[in-house]
Amino acid sequence: MRTLALAALIALGATSIAEAAVIPEASQASVSTDAAWRAHLASQRRIQIERLKAYAEAGVFPLNTTQPGLLSQLLDGTGRPCAMAHLIRESGNAELVAARAARDNAIELADVRRGPIHDWILTSGLTREEVAFVQEPDFFIGEQPPIDLAQLEQERLRTHFLSAARQLELDFDAGVETALERLGKRRLAAPPA
């Protein structure tokens, strides 16, 4: 045990007995904070996966009736949220979605690099890449789509979101570890309660 402790001190760069007494406490605090963040991110990831499954099963997705081709939209013309906007809203942050949709409704959320939505993504248990995958763009169906075209698009989206939820489950541990790494200096503070 002493050999292991000595090796740890050397690896940490302790140059004196006084430093040696402090480093293990700091190291323990760091390990403890990482463990708390890991648990928080895992919990949030589980919540996001369950919310995504419920969203998929409900089958009420935005429709692109305004722009030919593919369109990512936080909210459609009737206020239906995209999958990521739904997850953010369900976490108690409806105002973030409304404010961002008012400024740039066609935003790709994975491209957001600062601000409250970026902070939400960092602590959601999801990675930017996963956010991009979940935020599936909508195919243009026209202003007065035939009912079967709208239903086909809704079924395509439902299938995608269920598949995305399964993938998030399969990549659970790796996703949590990536999310933890990307917290950067935020890891030094305790996660939100």
pLDDT digit of tens for each residue in the chain (193 aa)?
444 343 443 444 444 444 444 444 444 446 689 999 999 999 999 999 999 999 999 999 998 988 999 999 999 999 999 999 999 999 999 999 999 999 999 999 999 999 999 999 999 999 999 999 999 999 888 777 677 888 999 999 999 999 999 999 999 999 999 999 999 999 999 998 8
Which helix (H) or strand (E) is 71 found in, with range?
strand 70-71
CB 139 within 8 A of CB 156: yes
Which pTM value belongs to this model?
Answer: 0.82
Q: Are strands 70-71 and 138-139 parallel, antiparallel or unpaired?
A: antiparallel
Q: Distance between the two ends of the chain, CA-based, in angstroms?
A: 35
